Structure 1
Amino acid sequence: MIPVAGFEGRRVMVLGLGRSGLATARALEVGGARALCWDDSPEARAKAEAAGLTLHDPARADAWEQVAALVVSPGIPHLYPEPNKWIARAMEAGVPVDNDIGLFFRSLGSTDWHMHDQPPRVIAVTGSNGKSTTSALIHHVLTECGRPSQLAGNIGRGVLDIDPPADGGVVVLELSSYQTELARALTPDVAVFTNLTPDHLDRHGGMGGYFAAKRRLFAEGGPDRAVIGVDEPEGRFLANQMAEGPTDDRLIRVSVDRKLTGPGWLVFARKDFLTEWRKGRQVASLDLRDIKGLPGTHNHQNACAAYAAVRGLGLSPKDIEAAFHTFAGLPHRSQLVAERGGVRFVNDSKATNADSAAKALQAFGRIRWIVGGLGKEGGIASLAPHFDRVAKAYLIGHSAREFALQLGETPHEICETMEAAVARAAAEAEPGETVLLAPAAASFDQYPDFEKRGEDFVAHVAALP
């Protein structure tokens, strides 16, 4: 655990008692603060009380007296689509608002670090799509290369629940916009920006607010090295802001759209090869075709970002390539779960929006597509250029009929449930085809989260006769 520093003997309110909230409360107590805990859910409060934590109702008249800070769980909106009432109360009382990521960065360094031969490092990854795979791949490469590494944040363990990093250790953080938007300290050694596509716009008040939340990772603390995907205008803008000039190698530009040129540090993927250029010359090239854990262009972008991040720490291209070959991929992200009679079954339940579903559709050939759920703005209309890859779509969930209209002449069938969709797709699939779960929608109409949706897909595939 990382003890929270700076609040010894003071009262700190913790709002939201999920995984990160409970870890935050414990880390505050270990650091000498008094954690005052609250959640609107009675079940969450009971769990915290059973763990020995102190409950503190923010509705009490004296609730905010002598409170040094309010620490908010990432899932709680603080400004858009409307201010949370308790966060608004804290702001009225002049109580600083932070989250566990901010506490982590202000508390990470310890007095014994001067004894380390190599001080610990933090690599933080953000972006719209691919940040989980990129973070996991970085962690995997570091581990395979003998560097002690921990994976935390929006993936793996809660950020304050990790062990204090050892000599030469690396903490790899996946950070969502919900986490970067509020943290009062953001000081990674290496910051990674994968890409930007519309998502969570109600939470951030539009695309500009969403980008601003991501940009804070780079603007607040100034990382020693920035790895930035430049395939969108926002990425190019951010890269321009971070670099002092064309040869500034504190910035590594990443692309899968085109060959990058210039005197800077560049990593790009073209025709299934990852290439690194530096100071106007090629220094490495990796063949991505046989790396089963990284199929498709979207995973090649993840590979480029991960490669650049660990190259920034001094790992060799040869060692990175070897580690890539042992990466199995993440559950629910282009995960090959079975091959039956020449048909592949792929679980990409994490494809919760149209852009990530587009990347999944581009990764495979002739597809039996299981799609649907709680649709987002625009549905699947933007995916029309990829419908020629779809042999047939099998529609599930709340938005099944809306998506059916958007499919037009593409063969489709409304199945409603995952069980029915898997059964129909498997029965009709021919050798060489892929049954792909890429919902392009949220899961909350039928499942508590995308993981449960993916697990249901896997279970029904396993149960096929």
Structure 2
Amino acid sequence: MIPVRGYEGERVAVLGLGRSGLATAHALAAGGATPLCWDDGAEARARAEAAGLTLHDLTRREAFDGVAALITSPGIPHLYPEPNRHILRALHAGIPVDNDIGLFFRSLGSGEWDEMDQPPRVIAVTGSNGKSTTAALIHHVLEAAGRPTQLAGNIGRGVLDLDPPRDGELIVLELSSYQTELARALTPDVAVFTNLTPDHLDRHGGLGGYFAAKRRLFAEGGPDRAVIGVDEPEGLFLAGQLAMGPGDDRVIRVSVNEKLTGPGWLVHARKGFLSETRKGKQVGAIDLRAVPALPGTHNHQNACAAYAACRTLGLSPKVVEQGFASFAGLPHRSQIVAEANGVRYVNDSKATNVDAALKALMAFDNIRWIVGGLQKEGGLAALAPGLANVTKAYVIGREAEAFARDLGDVEAEVCTEMQVAVAAAMSEAAPGDTVLLAPAAASFDQYDNFEQRGDDFVARVRAALGA
């Protein structure tokens, strides 16, 4: 646990009692504060009370009297589409609003590092797509190289659940826009921006607000190194804002769309080959085609970002390559779950938006595509470049018929349920085909989350194969 510093002897309200909220309350108590816990859900309140935490009804008129701060869970809106009622009352009362990420950065370096030879460092990864794989890949390479490291944030453990860092430890965080937009402290040593595509637009008031939330990771604390994907205008803009000139190697530009040239620190991948150049000379290269857990251009982008971050930490190209080779990938992200009779089965349930699904479609040929769910803003038109790789679509979700119509000329079968879609795809698949779950939609019409959806796909495939 990371004890929260700066609130010793203070009363601090905690709103939202899921994983991060409970960890925040315990970390506040460990740091000498009195956490006052509330959740609008009775079940969550009961869990907190069973964990020995003090409930504090934020609906009462005097609820914020004598409260030093309100710490809110990332999933609770504080501005758009409209502020949560408790957050609005805190703002009216002039009470600071923060989240666990802000508390983490505020508390991490508060005195305990004085006797360490090498203070711990934080590598924080954000972006629309690929941030989980990028963060996990960095963490894996560091582990494989024998470096002390922990992984947390939007993946795995909550940030305040981390063990107190050891001498020279490297903490890798995956941070969503929900986490970066409200944190009052953001001071990573290395910050990574993978890419930007439209997502969560209602929460951020549009694409500009979404980008602004991501940009805070780089603007608030000024990282020592910034790894920036420049394949979208926003990434180009961010790199331009941070760099003092073309040769400023504090900014490492990453691309999978073009060969990067110039005097700066550059990492790009073309046709499966990663290349690193500095001052116009190639200093490292990796054949990514030999890494089975990183298929497709989108994973090559993740690899470039992870490679660049690891290089800033002093790892050699060879050491990074060895780490890539032993990376097993993440569940629900281009996860190869089985291969049988010449057919490959891939779980990419994390492809919850059109851009992520397009990248999955571009990574494989002869696809029998399981798709559908709660469609997001913007429609499905952006999938067009990948549809040539689709042999047939098998559409799931409560609105499967409407979803199928939006796929245009693609042959589509309305299945509605996962079990029907898997059975149909498997019965029609031929050697050389890939049965791919890449929904291009949220899961909440039929599942609690994308993990549950992916687990359902995997279980049905393996049951049918007798695995």
Q: Which residue of 2 aligns with 1:56?
A: 56
SS at match of 1:202: helix
Q: Which residue of 2 aligns with 1:387?
A: 387
Question: Which letter maps to 2:232?
Answer: E
Q: Which residue of 1 aligns with 2:148?
A: 148
Pairs within 5 Å for 1:246-265 = 246-265=246-265
Deviation of the 1:411 alpha carbon: 1.1
Deviation of the 1:110 alpha carbon: 4.0
8 Å contact from structure 2 (residues 126, 192) kept in 1 = yes
Q: Does 1:84 align with 2:62?
A: no
Q: Which residue of 2 aligns with 1:405?
A: 405
SS at match of 1:442: coil
Find the aligned partners of 2:385 and 2:161 in 1 and give their Cα distance: 44
Deviation of the 1:119 alpha carbon: 1.3
Q: Which residue of 2 aligns with 1:69?
A: 69
Find the aligned partners of 1:287 and 1:117 in 2 and give their Cα distance: 36
Pairs within 5 Å for 1:21-32 = 21-32=21-32
Find the aligned partners of 1:117 and 1:95 in 2 and give their Cα distance: 38
Q: For this pair of structures, how many residues does the alignment match?
A: 465
Q: Which residue of 2 aligns with 1:206?
A: 206
Q: Which residue of 1 aligns with 2:301?
A: 301
8 Å contact from structure 1 (residues 154, 175) kept in 2 = yes
Deviation of the 1:343 alpha carbon: 0.2
173-182 or 374-383: which moved more? 374-383
**Unmatched 5+ stretches in structure 1:** none
Pairs within 5 Å for 1:29-44 = 29-44=29-44
Counting aligned pairs with the same residue, the percent is: 75
SS at match of 2:357: helix
Superimposed CA distance per residue, residues 161-185 of structure 1 (whole angstroms, 9 cap, x where no aligned partner) = 0001101101100000000000000
SS at match of 1:324: helix
8 Å contact from structure 1 (residues 263, 280) kept in 2 = yes
276-285 or 111-120: which moved more? 111-120
Question: Which letter maps to 1:410?
Answer: V
Q: TM-score, normalised by structure 2?
A: 0.99
Q: RMSD of the alignment, in Å?
A: 0.7
Question: Which letter maps to 1:118?
Answer: Q
Question: Which letter maps to 2:156?
Answer: G
Find the aligned partners of 1:444 and 1:110 in 2 and give their Cα distance: 41
Find the aligned partners of 2:106 and 2:140 in 1 and give their Cα distance: 26
Question: Which letter maps to 1:414?
Answer: V
Q: Does 1:462 align with 2:462?
A: yes
Deviation of the 1:73 alpha carbon: 0.1
**Unmatched 5+ stretches in structure 2:** none
Deviation of the 1:387 alpha carbon: 1.2
Q: Which residue of 2 aligns with 1:176?
A: 176
Question: Which letter maps to 1:166?
Answer: R
8 Å contact from structure 2 (residues 230, 255) kept in 1 = yes
Deviation above 4 Å: which 4+ runs of structure 1?
A: none
Q: Which residue of 1 aligns with 2:310?
A: 310
Question: Which letter maps to 2:264?
Answer: G
SS at match of 1:234: helix
Superimposed CA distance per residue, residues 97-134 of structure 1 (whole angstroms, 9 cap, x where no aligned partner) = 00000000000014231222211100000000000000
Find the aligned partners of 1:431 and 1:52 in 2 and give their Cα distance: 57
Q: Does 1:96 align with 2:93?
A: no
Pairs within 5 Å for 1:409-448 = 409-448=409-448
Question: Which letter maps to 2:390?
Answer: V
Find the aligned partners of 1:378 and 1:428 in 2 and give their Cα distance: 31
Deviation of the 1:381 alpha carbon: 2.2
Q: TM-score, normalised by structure 1?
A: 0.99
Find the aligned partners of 2:15 and 2:317 in 1 and give their Cα distance: 44
SS at match of 1:112: coil
8 Å contact from structure 1 (residues 375, 398) kept in 2 = no
